[in-house]
Chain A
Amino acid sequence: DTAVSQTPKYLVTQMGNDKSIKCEQNLGHDTMYWYKQDSKKFLKIMFSYNNKELIINETVPNRFSPKSPDKAHLNLHINSLELGDSAVYFCASSQGGGWDNSPLHFGNGTRLTVT
Chain B
Amino acid sequence: ILNVEQSPQSLHVQEGDSTNFTCSFPSSNFYALHWYRWETAKSPEALFVMTLNGDEKKKGRISATLNTKEGYSYLYIKGSQPEDSATYLCAFIGPGGAQKLVFGQGTRLTINP
A residues apposed to B, CB below 8 Å: 4, 31, 33, 40-45, 48, 50, 55, 90, 94, 96-99, 101-109
Contact = CB atoms under 8 A, between A and B. Distances in A.
Contacts of B93: 98
Interface of B: 31-32, 34, 36, 42-46, 49, 51, 89, 91, 93, 96-106
B105 A103 contact: no
Contacts of A108: 42-43
B99 to A, nearest CB: 4
Contacts of B97: 97-99
Nearest to A108: B43
B103 A109 contact: no
A41 B46 contact: no
A104 B46 contact: yes
A98 B96 contact: yes
Contact of B103 (A31, A43, A48, A55): A43
A104 B98 contact: yes
Contacts of B106: 41
Given A101-B49, A103-B49, A48 B43 contact: no
Contact of B44 (A50, A94, A98, A104): A104
A31 B97 CA distance: 11
Nearest to B32: A101
A79 to B, nearest CB: 24
A105 B46 contact: yes
B7 to A, nearest CB: 15
A41 B105 contact: yes
